[in-house]
Each structure stands twice: as C-alpha cells, then as structure tokens.
Structure 1
Amino acid sequence: MGPRTLWRMSEADSEAIGAGRAASRGIVLAATGLVWAAAMLWSARATITGRVDAEMEVTSTAYAMPGAVSAALVAGAAVALALVGFFPRTGRTGRFLLAIGGGLAVGLLGALSIITINTEGWIYAVVGGTIAAAATIGGALAGFRYPRVTAAVCWGAIAVFLAGVVLTFLQDDLLPVFGAADTSSSQATAAGYFGFAQGVLGGLAAGLIGYRLLRRARHRTGSDLKWPLYALTGAGPGLLLVVGEILTRTAGSRVLELAGRVSELELTVQQMLSGSRLNNGLIVLFVGAFTAMVAVGRTLGSPATDPTGPDDDPAGSEPAPPEPTAPAAAAPAAAVAAAPGAGQPAAPVAAAPGAGQPAAAVAATPGAGQPAAAVAAAPGAGQPAAAVAATPGAGEQAAAVQAGDSADSEETARGGDAEPVRSVRRAR
C-alpha cells in the first residue's frame, strides 16, 4: 500500500461542498412545500367538482381558495430556494430573477390545476391567477439576502399548517373545554377561544422552529445573525398568512363577492371567516416574533467584566500604617507615607552596610519653594528599616526630625553588631 497523503481543501472546494449541502436541504424543503401545495390544490379541486349545483360550487371555491393561496406562497419560496442553491455563484440580480422564475413556474402549474375545472367560466381563472401571483411572490422572497431566514420561515409555515390540521381533527373534543354548550352563543364564544388558542400554538411552533433552524445554521456555518432577523423568522409564517389573506381579498375578491350573493347567511359566514383568518395570521405573527426573541434572548450572556476597568482600590493596595519618628506636637506638618502604591512616588532608599542588617535613608519630597528633609531611622537587629517621607504643605515649614547623640548611641547598643546609622539633619 502506498503512502497516505493529505489533501488540503481549497476555498473553492469548500464553497462547492457547502453549496451542495445547501442544495440538498433545499430539495427536501421544496419537496415538502410541493406536497403541501399539491394536497391543498387536490382537495380544492375535489371539493369544487363534487358539488351538484352552481351555488355550492361557488361557495366551495371561496372556502378552498385561502388555503391554496397560502400553500402556493410556501411552495414558490421553497422551490426558488432550491434553484438558488443549485446556482450559488449567480449574482444578486441573477439570483433574484432565478427565484422569481422558479416561483412563477410553480404558480403556473397550480393555476393550471384549477383553471382546467371549467375553462368557460371566469371564476376559476380568477382563482388560478391568485394562486400564480402567490407562488411568484413566494419565489421573490427567496431572492433576498438571507436565504436561511426564508428557509426557516417556510418550515415554520409548514409547522403552523400541521398544528392547524391536528387541532381541526380535535376540534369536537376541544370545543367543550372552551365552554361550548347547546346554545349558539356559547358555541360561538367557544369557537372564538378555539381560534385564539390555535393562533397561539401556531405562533409558538413558528417561533421555536425558526429559532432552532437558525441555531443549527449557525453551528453549521460558524456565522450568526442579529436578533431582529430571529424575530423576523418567528413572525414570517404569520406574515405569510397575512399576505395570503390580502391576496385573497384583493386578487380573489370577485370570488368572495360572488359567494356572498348566494344568500345573506353565506355573506355573513364569508365575512366571519375572513376576519378569523386575518386575526389568526396576526396572532401567529406576533406570538412567533415574541417567542423567537425570548428564545434568542435566553442565549445571550451578560457582558463580560472589563479587565482594564477601574479597580475598587484606586491606590492599588492599602497603605501600611505609618511609623511615627517624632511626637505629633513636634511635627505638625509632617506627612508619613508607607511603601509606594499605585499613583505614589517611590522613596529612594540607601542601604548602609552592616552585619546582615539594612539601613534606610529616606528622602523627603520638598513642597513649593521649601527644602527637603531626609530622616534616617536605625532598625533593630534583624528588622527592616522604615522609609518615611515628609512632605510639607504649601506655605508651611516642615518639622525637622532630629536624632540626638544619645539616641544614636542607644540605637547602636541595641543593634548589636550592626553599624550605627548616620543621622541626617536638616537645618531650618
């Protein structure tokens, strides 16, 4: 077997591998979005074609259009993200055009499935055009600067849809929990509470899933996004629901108006459903944004303590207690300082050689226009000398500390083998 060699990955190879992984993840999202859109379109087509009379056919079309529009938004964005992932080196303009083209292709396919129900009437052409517009808008979202945010929003929208499906199956069991009884008023109140709970759960799912996906992208790429983008990711599914409702009310307004002409009851139902869809989208938007902000806020640590900041002790250390060399009455202006700390000048010390014992000569710092006094203290046997600095105040004379001959002889006798320390006197 030949020797093993190490192959160093170049930057271009790394980008190619990263683009391939992004494309594979985009394929999964695109497939999921297409399955959702296909299921909604198939359900709408089956519901519309299953009606016998024209009035029920119109109302069924009005009921099915909002869900198909929301699914088309997500499918267009997901397919556009997959196309952009396959061509990562495309410029900004090319990426945007590619994303719009992918969304438009999805929209045309979805519109074709509705228009072919009846090519003679205008109602299905309106629904098909609304679906195509929704998919194109979704594709345009994929051409923006942060594709990971768009992908997380798409996954969050799918999670909101799944939460809605589960709650719909459990609706009959959950309505009594919210106070539904035999009266119509209690059932209406319970339905309102149920819709509110559905929006809150959808918002929680959108915020948590969006936050989790962005965190995984951070670990994968090594770069993080700012917290407003986390909030936008959590609010994205609700924003898609609001955009879908706006498209339904504008591009598909003729269908809703035609359904309202069937009867006064149908008009009231359409208005209630339209308001409920908008409220649900707004609840998902705000709850999702709040959930994502709380989730990312829990991961932010407190600011680190600045090691270069001010210390609690500005002097650096506590000064040692002074050692007086003369009575307080004889030295009114003498300032006694210890070993120099932070911000204090150091006193020059001259050591007098003795039998293993140091002597300290202390130089005093003169005041304004005043001479300096040097005071020498003779240490005992085996004890270090204390350095004393006398600093006179402005306009005051410092007290001269003098050591007499008797003190010199006494210190010499007490010092044992140590040499006498020279006394430095300052004249007035």
Structure 2
Amino acid sequence: MSEADSEVNAAQGAQDGTEEAPSRGLLLAAVGLVWMAGMLWSARATITGRPSAEMEVTSTAYAMPGAISASLVTGAAVALAVLAFLTRGGRTPGVTVRFIIATGTGLAIGLLGALSIITINTEGWLYAVVGGTVAAAATIGGALAGFRYRRVTAAVCWGAITVFVVGFVLNVLQDMLLPVLGSGDSAASRTNAAGWFGLVQAVLSGVAGALVAYRVLRRARRGPAGPDLRWPLYALAGAGPGLLLVIGEGLTRTAGSRVLELAGKVSELELTVQQMLSGSRLNNGLIVLFVGAFTAIIAVGRTLGPATPALEPTIEAPVATPRPAADPDEIERAARDEPQTVPAQHDD
C-alpha cells in the first residue's frame, strides 16, 4: 500500500469514527434483517394464499415494492456491520477492497432473500424476476455502504426504518384518520381524503426519518469520531430515506416491469390501479426526500451559533513615563562640578 493510500485510509477512519463500533452495526443489521424477513414472509404468505393464478400475479405486484425497499436498507445495514467488524482494531482496508466487501455482502443478502420468493414456483419466470429484483436491490444497498462517510449511510438506514414504521402505524390508523380528513359517503370525498392521507403520511414520514437521521449523526459526533460533518451531509442523511424510496421505485419499474405489465393484463381496472400506485409511490418518495432534506437543514441550522465578528487589531500608544520634577539645588551643584572649557586662542 502506497503512502498516499495510507493517508486516505487514515482520513477515512477518522471520518467513520463510531460507525466502526461493532455493537451499533450489529443492532442496525439485526433490525434490517427482521424488516426484510418480515416483508418477504408477508409477500410469500400473501402470494401462496391466493386461490387463482390471476390473484397470485396481482398480489406479487403489490408485495414487490415493499420487499425491494427492505432489501435496499438491509443490504446496506449488513454491509456496514461487516465492514465495522473487519476494521476493528485500527485495520483500514483500501477503498477498492472495502467496496468489494460491501457489494459482495449485499449480494449475499440479496440471494438469500431471492430464494424465499423463487422457491414459491421454480417453473415460472414471474418469481424469478421478483427474486432477481430483490437480489439487485440488496446488492445496490451493499454498494452504498462501501462509499465514504459510513456514518451518513448508517443514519440513512435508521431514517428509512423510521419512515417504514411511521407509514405502518398510519396505515393501521387509516380508518380512524380518513373521516378526520373529510372522507364521507360520496366517492369524491373518499378520493379527496385518500389524497390528503397520502400527503400527510409522506410529510410526517419525511420529518420523522430526517430527525432520526440527524440524531444518529449528532450522537456519533459526541463519540470518538470527534469532528462533526458539514451541513450538506446532514441534508443528504435527511433526504436519504426518500432517495432510497425513489431508487426502489426505479427498480420496480425497470427490473420488475414484467411483473407490473403482467398484473396490468389481468383487467383494465388492475392496470389503472397499478398505474395509480406507481405514481403514488414515486410522489411519496419525492416528498419524503425533499421534506427530509429541508428538516435536516433546519435541525442542524438550529445548532449553529452566531458568527463571531473578527476583531481588528488595536495598536496601543506607548505610555510615557513621567519624569520626576527637577531639583534647583541639584542643578546648581551639577553646574559647579562641570569643568570649564577654555576656548583656544589663535595667533594673528
């Protein structure tokens, strides 16, 4: 390893700081694995519990976005835990080695998650597409953990988990909240209330996710990491959960597009529903992204004190030392003691 690489790795270790702690990395990885396992188990149970092939297809399309989002976060969380374990004791692998380890960890998690979907029916291509999309999402998440500022990546993961929890709680309380938002007997009022509910959910999720990400970074600042991060990284951490939602929607529309197309062929109504859900997910992710970034900027801005004005250097005038008053007797005595100078005479 060259001297330049050593300096880069040392600087990287100073920036990572508390994210190197294995205990915190394991906690985040454990929470991510529980979330991913729960989403995959729910998807498998929902798909296999349908009596017809058409309902299996639509259930797969409904379950895929949630499984992709969980896989993104879990791939990053487990990769962070592996990197924290490998770098304990002051060991600092190179940038390329770290990136390979993180990406490989995400791929391994993704392959394990894909097996739970592919084994539903190994003869058809539908579940292979879903499994491959899940594996790709976890691999991308692992690659994100290999970049610099792992503290920010960990904060984004905690924020994404918070967004999921807030969304889950609000969905459970949806029947109680919709009448408050104006839902009535008419279809127009129910549609309007559903739109307001989606907006409120996105805003609250963005605020909660950003505040959790901010607290994670501030707690890391008080640890052995020492130096604080600049405010753009706080904004990135706040926007990170929404960014993961947008990436997940992008994977759903690209890698999992065949599943959505097949679900849209079931009926015209199902095609309309899939289009509406796809647009709603993208709008939700964008709202979480921008609200989260704005919230994080405000949160870190409140901690910044007023700028101290620069003081101009002042030049002090030298202080004159007062002379003692002259004594007349001393002056006369000095005159008597002074030798008289006789002027020289010149011959004409």
Structure 1 and Structure 2 fold alike (TM over 0.5): yes
Distance 1:94 1:22 in 2: 20
Residue 75 of structure 1 corresponds to 74
Question: Which consecutive residues of structure 1, in runs of 5 or more, have no partner in the other structure?
Answer: 1-10, 317-340, 356-428
Shift of 1:288: 0.6
276, 280, 288: which is aligned to 2:280?
276
What is the rounded CA distance, in whole Å, between the counterparts of 2:327 and 2:268 in structure 1?
A: 117
User: Which amino acid letter does the alignment assign opposite residue 152 of structure 1?
Assistant: A
Residue in 2 that maps onto 1:162: 165
Q: TM-score normalised to the size of structure 2?
A: 0.85
SS in 1 for 2:121: coil
Alignment of 1:127-142 (within 5 A): 127-142=130-145
2:195 matches 1:171: no
Aligned-residue offset at 1:196? 0.4
Which residue of structure 1 aligns with residue 25 of structure 2? 26
Is the partner of 1:32 in helix, strand or coil? helix
Corresponding residue number in structure 2 for 1:301: 305
Counting only pairs closer than 5 Å after superposition, residues 216-295 of structure 1 correspond to structure 2 as 216-220=219-223, 221-295=225-299
Q: Report the alpha carbon displacement of residue 222 of structure 1 after superposing the two structures with TM.
A: 1.3
Task: Pick closer, same or farther for the CA change 1:99–1:347 going to 2, 3 Å.
Answer: closer
Between the two proteins, the alignment pairs up a number of residues equal to: 310
Question: What letter matches 1:288 in structure 2?
Answer: G
Whole-Å Cα distance in 2 between the matches of residues 233 and 69 of structure 1?
Answer: 20
The secondary structure found in structure 2 opposite 1:118 is coil
Counterpart check, 1:116 vs 2:89: no
State how far apart, in whole Å, the 1-side matches of 2:172 and 2:154 are: 28
CA distance in 2, matches of 1:174, 1:347: 82
Shift of 1:87: 1.1
Looking at structure 1, the residues matched to 48 and 321 of structure 2 have their Cα atoms a distance apart, in angstroms, of: 105
Give the structure 2 partner of residue 360 of structure 1. Answer: none
Shift of 1:349: 7.6
Q: Is the CA contact 2:214–2:238 (under 8 Å) kept in the aligned structure 1?
A: yes
Change (3 A) 1:19 1:154: closer
Q: 1:150 aligns with which of 143, 148, 153?
A: 153
Partner of 1:39: 38
Q: How big is the shift at 1:92? A: 1.1
Letter of the structure 1 residue corresponding to residue 65 of structure 2: P
Q: Residues 111-160 of structure 1: CA distance to partner in whole angstroms, max 9, x if unpaired?
A: 00000000111000000000000000000000011111101100000000
Question: What residue is the counterpart of 1:409 in the other structure?
Answer: none
1:179-205 Cα shifts (integer Å, max 9, x gaps): 111111111111010000000011111
Contact 2:19 2:150 in 1 (8 A): no
In the TM superposition, residue 306 of structure 1 has moved relative to its aligned partner by 2.3
Distance 1:80 1:350, change over 3 A: closer
Aligned residues: CA RMSD: 2.2
Q: Amino acid of the residue matched to residue 264 of structure 1?
A: E
Residue matched to 1:353: 326
**SS of the residue 1:304 aligns to:** coil
How is 1:81-120 mapped onto 2 (pairs within 5 angstroms)? 81-88=80-87, 89=91, 90-120=93-123
Q: How big is the shift at 1:269?
A: 0.5
Once residues 19 and 321 of structure 2 are traced to their aligned partners in structure 1, the CA distance between those partners, rounded to angstroms, is 72
User: Does the 8 Å CA contact 2:103/2:146 hold for their aligned counterparts?
Assistant: yes
Partner of 1:204: 207
- Describe the SS at the equivalent of 1:353: coil
SS in 2 for 1:145: coil
SS at match of 1:305: coil
Equivalent AA in structure 2 for residue 110 of structure 1? G
Is the 1:26–1:85 Cα contact (8 Å) retained in structure 2?
A: yes
Matches within 5 A, 1:324-403: 342=317, 352-354=325-327
Which residue type is aligned with residue 69 of structure 2? Answer: S
> Does structure 2 conserve the Cα–Cα contact (< 8 Å) formed by 1:178 and 1:190?
yes
Check conservation: 1:153, 1:237, Cα contact below 8 A: yes
Judge conservation of contact 1:19–1:86 (CA < 8 Å) in 2.
no
Partner Cα distance (2:327, 2:178) in 1:
101
Change over 3 Å in CA distance of 1:19–1:178 after alignment to 2: closer
Query: Structure 1 residues 280 and 19, CA, compared in 2 at 3 Å: closer, same or farther?
Result: closer
Q: Secondary structure at the match of 2:309?
A: coil
1: distance between equivalents of 2:43 and 2:76?
A: 21
Structure with more contact order per residue of length (Cα contacts < 8 Å, sep ≥ 6)? 2
Rg (Cα) greater in structure: 1
